[in-house]
Amino acid sequence: MAAMEITDGVNINAAIDSARRATHHNNIELVVVPQQLPTVDGEKRKRHLQLYQAALSGDWDTAEGIYNLFGEEVNATITKRGETALHIAAAAEHTHFVKQLVGKMRTEALYFRNNAGNTAFCFAAISGVEALAKVMMDIKRDLAMTRGRGNLLPIYMATLMGHRGMVSYLYDETNQRLTDGDRIALLVALINSDIYDVAWKMIRAHPKLAYARDEHQLTALHALAQKSCMPSNAVDHRPPGFWIKDLNPFSAFKLSRMRKLMHKQALDLTQYLWEQVVLLDDATISSQIGVPWALIFTAAERGNLDFLTILISLYPELIFKVEHNRYSIFHIAILHRHEDIFRIIYQIGSIKNLITTYKDGEGNNMLHLAAKLLESPSRLNVIPGAALQMQRELLWFEEVKKVVQPWHIEEKNTQGKTPGALFIEQHKEMMKEGEQWMRDTADSCMLVATLIATVVFAAAFTLPGGNLQDKGTPVFVKKIAFKFFAISDAISLVTSASSLLTFLSIRTSRYAERDFLWTLPNRLIIGLTTLFISIGAMMVAFMATFFLVFSNKLQEYSIPIAAVASLPVLFFIWQHYRLFLDMIHSTYMSRSLFKPNKSPLFSKKVKAKVA
């Protein structure tokens, strides 16, 4: 949780400035730290310190005692940074203290700014506590329009901090008094903070905001384009550790519903904004989406599929747009490995044959881009382990190969490298890491499989109860438990041997780059599956043996011992099930990653609404 010193204007303003640059400070806590007090006489200095501590702790009784004796201190500055007791109490979120204090203060004292230029109401807005704002606005309604540092309105500060309730309250109070500049700046901030309900109110009341620009020349669509998805995770201001006591199916359901609602609001907002923009002439549209930066390529880089789908479905010309490297949105999707966006290429028919011919200044075609190593660690680390990352890279290379023209496969760039040669060069280190990971995994699993095979092989010739001397048949041959023992022991022996041989084949593999696509992952899955089965069968054999030998004398302990015997199986599965599931998903499920979308991009039902 980030902390800000309210008495030091630098920290709180740094947080606001950072949030304005779209770096959200979620769960920001206002922490008041002791400051050096103004140089005054000793008695006054002592009173200020007492007022500071009282405001910080919400101790109104102490503060009231001082004010009764020294009435002038109600409106006094008590820190070297220019804060009054109202600043401190508002930042510390003590509603009762603030309510009592504003009743004693002069009206003009409510507008006092600290040295950084922020009023106490600015701190109340940043805190997100609506009751604080209501108490102060009951005295003076125009406090909400009193600007703070950087000429920022309190509602803008609350928006940057993501306080949905506070923003909604302040918007209802100020919407008629905002300037056009205030509205577009606020709209962009609302989108950055995922507060779409208030953004909807604003854009419905002022449709021209759809193509207005803020001080950085950004439009609302630029803010939406920067989302990695729409919306980002719902802002939650509960303190860390809340899930320990609060997380339950009901709260999870509510959070899920909230995210779905926010997602729908974001889509509807994007649709409405874009419908207003496409009514403009082509030159203005190009300026809207291209200045100060091309928003469709940013959306493609962030993987914002819904945003691009809405824009392209209403304005198909965007498919042909290229940026300074002559990259289309599909080239960007390949570079950043966004398969959802790349799949759009299957819905544009023969147009893809034209787009796949685009090459950058170094002569790299689409397949060259797929051959390059993914540079973004956040995208690469979505896939666990170097071997599975190598597998995903190969999947991308093979999929792009299906789309490009045949002559592109062996085409050389300006450095004389074909896509295949570039792939090997770029993924050399990843291949080494993947090989080492595979070998280490195979070695550890081989050890377990060898131990199991040794134990169950020996158990097959040392039967529980022994054999009859005259016939040589097992003593317990007619008991059901013995049959369970014989079958499970045989299964464990066969599967452990199979697992051992499978891991041995992994150990001795040649580790060519294409082996990572199917051969090696498939062998690892088979090896882990047979190993799991062998461990389970071995435990069944143990439990059957226990029942045969001790069923008469220790019958009451049979169930607890059987339960304890299952713990090694559960423990081993618990340690390896994530690896097992990741391997299955990456090997078998990932082949549907590039399956074309069922919903058509250009639906006959899509019609631009005229405002």
Please state, in angstroms and rounded to a whole number, the distance separating the CA atoms of residues 338 and 304. Answer: 9
Please state, in angstroms and rounded to a whole number, the distance separating the CA atoms of residues 444 and 320. Answer: 52
Average pLDDT over residues 278-302: 94
Please state, in angstroms and rounded to a whole number, the distance separating the CA atoms of residues 49 and 43. Answer: 10
Question: Worst-scoring range by mean pLDDT, 236-240, 343-347, 537-541, 561-565?
Answer: 236-240
- How much of the chain, in percent, has pLDDT values that exceed 70? 84
Average pLDDT over residues 6-35: 48
Owner of token pair 């300037």: 179
The two tokens of residue 201 are: 């109110």
Average pLDDT over residues 563-573: 76
Residue 4 has a pLDDT of 39
Average pLDDT over residues 182-195: 96
Domains 3-173 and 323-426 share a fold: yes
> 323-426 maps to which CATH number?
1.25.40
- How much of the chain, in percent, has pLDDT values that exceed 90? 67
CB 71 within 8 A of CB 105: no
pLDDT category at 384 given cuts 50, 70, 90 is confident
Query: In a 10 Å sphere around its CB, with 0-12 CB exposed, 13-18 middle and 19+ buried, how is residue 199 labelled?
Result: buried
- Please give the C-alpha separations between residue 29 and each of 1, 3, 128, 150, in angstroms, as whole numbers: 7, 5, 10, 21
**Tens digit of pLDDT for each residue in 396-443?**
999 999 999 999 999 999 999 999 999 999 999 999 999 999 999 999
Please state, in angstroms and rounded to a whole number, the distance separating the CA atoms of residues 312 and 550. Answer: 73
Minimal CA–CA distance to 88: which of 39, 26, 164, 37? Answer: 37
CB 592 within 8 A of CB 339: no
Residue 123 has a pLDDT of 97
**Where are the domains positioned within the chain?**
3-173, 178-234+246-321, 323-426, 430-592
**Tens digit of pLDDT for each residue in 191-245?**
999 999 999 999 999 999 999 999 999 999 999 999 976 654 444 433 333 333 4
Residue 452 has a pLDDT of 93
pLDDT category at 500 given cuts 50, 70, 90 is very high
DSSP secondary structure code for residue 610 in this structure: P
pLDDT category at 577 given cuts 50, 70, 90 is confident
Residue 19 has a pLDDT of 58
Tell me which of 322 and 589 has the higher pLDDT: 322
Owner of token pair 């050890």: 447
3-state secondary structure of 236: coil
Minimal CA–CA distance to 236: which of 219, 221, 258, 220? Answer: 258
CB 88 within 8 A of CB 101: no
Which runs of consecutive H residues, i.e. helices, occur in 476-518?
Answer: 480-507
Residue 37 has a pLDDT of 45
Compute CA 401 distance to the chain's CA centroid, rounded to the nearest angstrom. 31
Please state, in angstroms and rounded to a whole number, the distance separating the CA atoms of residues 206 and 99. Answer: 36
Please state, in angstroms and rounded to a whole number, the distance separating the CA atoms of residues 450 and 102. Answer: 78
Tell me which of 388 and 544 has the higher pLDDT: 388
Q: Fill in the amino acid letter for 285.
A: I
Q: Is the pLDDT of residue 479 over 80?
A: no
CA diameter of the chain: 112
Query: Domain 3-173 - what CATH class?
Result: mainly alpha
Tell me which of 461 and 316 has the higher pLDDT: 316
Question: Worst-scoring range by mean pLDDT, 231-240, 365-374, 424-433, 565-574?
Answer: 231-240
265: number of Cβ within 10 Å:
18
CB 314 within 8 A of CB 348: no
Compute CA 70 distance to the chain's CA centroid, rounded to the nearest angstrom. 53
Please state, in angstroms and rounded to a whole number, the distance separating the CA atoms of residues 368 and 261. Answer: 40
Owner of token pair 């973004």: 376
Q: Is the pLDDT of residue 3 over 50?
A: no
Write the DSSP string, 140-204. Answer: -GGGGG---GGG--HHHHHHHTT-HHHHHHHHHHHTTT--HHHHHHHHHHHHHTT-HHHHHHHHH
Question: Worst-scoring range by mean pLDDT, 245-254, 295-304, 314-323, 530-539?
Answer: 245-254
Collect all residues with Cβ–Cβ distance below 8 Å to 557 and sequence separation of at least 6: 550
Average pLDDT over residues 23-28: 42
Compute CA 589 distance to the chain's CA centroid, rounded to the nearest angstrom. 22
Residue 240 has a pLDDT of 39
Tally of residues, the chain: 611
Domain 178-234+246-321 has CATH 1.25.40: yes
Q: Fill in the amino acid letter for 417.
A: K
Residue 247 has a pLDDT of 46
Residue 97 has a pLDDT of 97
Residue 56 has a pLDDT of 95
pLDDT category at 381 given cuts 50, 70, 90 is confident
pLDDT category at 132 given cuts 50, 70, 90 is very high
Tell me which of 271 and 543 has the higher pLDDT: 271
Residue 28 has a pLDDT of 40
Residue 300 has a pLDDT of 95
Tell me which of 102 and 603 has the higher pLDDT: 102
Residue 555 has a pLDDT of 66
Preceding peptide of 560 cis, ω within 30°: no
- For the chain, the average pLDDT equals 85
4's enclosing H/E stretch is strand 3-5
Question: Worst-scoring range by mean pLDDT, 314-318, 319-323, 476-480?
Answer: 476-480
